[in-house]
């Protein structure tokens, strides 16, 4: 390896240019006084002692007394690895502090789209895995017809797991509202008919699922805590505005 390359590597592990000059000078000469090092490197003597002190602390240079004067000499080149190990140990100690002040990356927004009745059924069933409350609004009456007996089995499983669920329907689903309000762990309200939609919105944990009850049936799944919390707040506003009783 050429000397310039050696200098580059030494600089990359934390030695500054003057420290490299002094260290390599000692590697070539062996033992030397500060004055002689100053002459050879052209670095002012007052600065040489500071540089040597830093190299001593790094553990790659040592000193002895000869003829009543300090003489400096380089340690074995392999001791550079000890210096690196020392730096590694110091870094390991401060990593927890760095992690504490680090700006955490923004939460990833995972969005996927699926089609088909079976896929939608699986998505609905997956809500039960979290055992967390479920909110749903905008479900059209066609959805109940399309899902058939599956939706009843879903509610049986949900109630068995004691998972609460709130529904908001349009006024064309008043019968469904009555039926749901008779179930345990279930509450249902409704909006005027102008609220009717072919898209239902389902919220559970950190997931929002938009289901399009059309041909083909499809669903958009958004997995993101912030998005889910925003939809949840919106649902709470709708819930307070929705009607509880009806003729």
pLDDT at 247: 47
pLDDT at 103: 63
Q: Are 200 and 168 in contact (CB under 8 A)?
A: no
pLDDT at 107: 59
Question: Where do the domains of the chain lie, and which CATH numbers do they carry?
Answer: 3-101 (1.10.10.10), 110-241 (3.30.870.10)
Q: Are 69 and 33 in contact (CB under 8 A)?
A: yes
Q: Are 159 and 184 in contact (CB under 8 A)?
A: yes
Long-range CB contacts (within 8 A, 24+) of 232-237: 232/135, 232/203, 235/135, 235/137, 235/166, 235/168, 235/201, 235/203
State the Cα–Cα distance between residues 170 and 197, nearest whole angstrom: 8
pLDDT at 85: 84
State the Cα–Cα distance between residues 153 and 159, nearest whole angstrom: 10
pLDDT at 79: 81
pLDDT at 38: 93
Per-10-residue mean pLDDT for the chain, 247 residues long?
77 88 92 92 91 91 89 88 83 83 66 92 93 92 88 94 93 86 93 73 95 91 93 93 69
pTM above 0.75, yes or no: no
pLDDT at 243: 83
């Amino acid at each position: 390896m050429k000397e310039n390359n050696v200098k580059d590597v030494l600089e990359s592990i934390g030695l500054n240019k003057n420290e490299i000059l002094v260290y390599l000078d000692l590697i070539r000469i062996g033992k030397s006084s500060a004055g002689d090092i100053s002459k050879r490197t052209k670095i002012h003597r007052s600065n040489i002692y500071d540089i040597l002190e830093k190299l001593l602390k790094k553990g790659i240079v040592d000193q002895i007394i000869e003829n009543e004067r300090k003489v400096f000499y380089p340690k074995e080149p392999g001791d550079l690895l000890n210096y690196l190990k020392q730096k590694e140990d110091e870094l390991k100690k401060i990593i927890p502090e760095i992690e504490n002040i680090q700006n955490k990356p923004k939460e990833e927004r995972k969005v996927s789209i699926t089609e088909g009745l079976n896929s939608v059924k699986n998505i609905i069933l997956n809500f039960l895995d979290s055992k967390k409350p479920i909110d749903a609004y905008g479900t059209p009456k066609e959805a109940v017809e399309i899902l058939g007996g599956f939706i009843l089995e879903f509610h049986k499983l949900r109630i068995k797991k004691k998972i609460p669920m709130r529904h908001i329907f349009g006024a064309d689903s008043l019968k469904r509202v009555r039926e749901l309000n008779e179930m345990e762990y279930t509450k249902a309200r409704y909006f005027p008919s102008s609220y009717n939609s072919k898209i239902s919105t389902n919220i559970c944990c950190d997931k929002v699922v938009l289901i399009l009850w059309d041909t083909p049936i499809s669903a958009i799944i958004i997995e993101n805590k912030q998005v889910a919390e925003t939809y949840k707040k919106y649902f709470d506003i709708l819930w307070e505005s929705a009607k509880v009783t009806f003729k």
